[in-house]
A and B are shown apart, each in its own frame.
Chain A
Amino acid sequence: MSKEHLAIANIPMQDYGEIYDDKKALCTGTIFEALDMPFFATDIEKGNKKSALFGTEKKLPEQEEREQLMTQITEVSFVIDDLTLYLDTHGDEAQALSLFEQKLTERETLKKQFAEKFYPLTRECIPYCGKKEDGRFCWQTGPMPWEGACV
């Protein structure tokens, strides 16, 4: 596997290595420290990152809570996204597999909570929807993802 060959691309297989926590992983774009290779033009921003991503304006408590839960879902889901691709090429990596399963369980719980309190993110969440308006179909409740209403 590690042997290099002529006249074809050779890419070393990645080792599992150091893993970022959920928040840092989403912010960076990968859970793997070894694949975090920023562009020089982004060096200047260090320090003011948080205020840039999350607005400082006053929010209603419900909005605050919804954004917190949505942020957690986004972070956990991203860890799963990145681990999926890693496991596609490292199917027998036990550490990755165990983190993957742990995050899947976390995600299910969070999605259920989100549906109970706010609106369903997937069709599977519809039965948990707490805000059924007179028995109406609740799939269309909540803002569309591109409206920027959450965060």
Chain B
Amino acid sequence: MWQYEKRLQFPVKITKTCPKTAQMIISQYGGPDGELSASMRYLAQRYTMPVKAVGGLLTDIGTEELAHMEIICAMVYQLTKDLTIEEAKTAGFDAYYIDHTTALWPQAAASVPFTALEFQSKGDAIADLTEDLAAEQKARTVYDNLLRMITDPEVREPLKFLRTREIVHFQRFGEALEKTKDQLDSKNFYYFNPEFDKDKFHGKL
């Protein structure tokens, strides 16, 4: 069950229209390392996690990613809400405008639509947590790249916040992996899959 709270996790107030910036930032909505992909990845992986606390962490981070998606969408919305047709034409926003006007639609910066192929839910705790570590790093790189290109401080502040969150999440997934390792044989973490070979994991063999 989820409940809505009528506020953003980090405030967004952008006063200058800039479709070019919107076009770049939208990647963190529907792109390969975006917030939607992150949220769906963690919320999909959590059901079969063998260590209960790790399932709990995936729920909490997956939920926070939804709030990050809302921050990104708020930024894209505010960057384009007063868009003129001339601005749409000159800033390279024209193709997006034809299909979606100024509405929000999850796509990457290079116009590739959001797809579940951007993440995996493998059913193996070590494989999934290792993917989660990599996902946080890739998202951090996107924020680095955005911070190199975007100069408007009203846009940069939320981007800096979101970038730090990727680092914090990386640390937490690392700790979750350590917790999973604690329950496995350190001489061979790969002797069985704790997410599938439950009898072996619970020591019944």
- Shortest 10 CB-CB distances between A and B: which pairs? A11-B174, A29-B164, A52-B153, A146-B74, A151-B11, A89-B175, A148-B13, A88-B57, A29-B161, A41-B147
Taking CB as reference atom, which chain A residue is nearest B15?
A55
Which of A106-151 touch B at CB < 8 Å? 119-123, 142, 144-146, 148, 150-151
Contact B64 A35 (CB under 8 A): no
Residues of B within 8 A of A (CB): 3-15, 53, 56-57, 60-61, 64, 70, 73-74, 77-78, 126, 130, 133, 143-144, 147-148, 153-154, 156-157, 160-165, 167-169, 171-179, 181-182, 186, 189-190
A29 lies within 8 A of B177 (CB): no
Q: Tell me which of B7, B78, B153, B169 contacts A121 (CB under 8 A).
A: B7
Instruction: Name the contact of A146 in the complex, choosing from B53, B64, B73 (C-beta under 8 A).
Output: B73
30 A–B pairs (Cβ distance < 8 Å), ordered by A: A1-B178, A9-B130, A10-B178, A12-B174, A28-B161, A30-B168, A39-B143, A41-B144, A41-B147, A49-B157, A55-B13, A55-B15, A74-B8, A85-B57, A85-B169, A85-B172, A88-B53, A88-B56, A89-B175, A91-B53, A120-B6, A122-B3, A122-B5, A145-B6, A145-B70, A148-B12, A148-B13, A148-B78, A151-B11, A151-B13
Q: How large is the interface on A (under 10, 10 to 19, 20 to 34, 35 or more residues)?
A: 35 or more
A interface residue numbers (CB < 8 A to B): 1, 3, 5, 7-14, 26-30, 32, 35-39, 41-42, 45, 48-49, 52-53, 55, 70-71, 73-74, 77-78, 81-82, 84-86, 88-91, 119-123, 142, 144-146, 148, 150-151
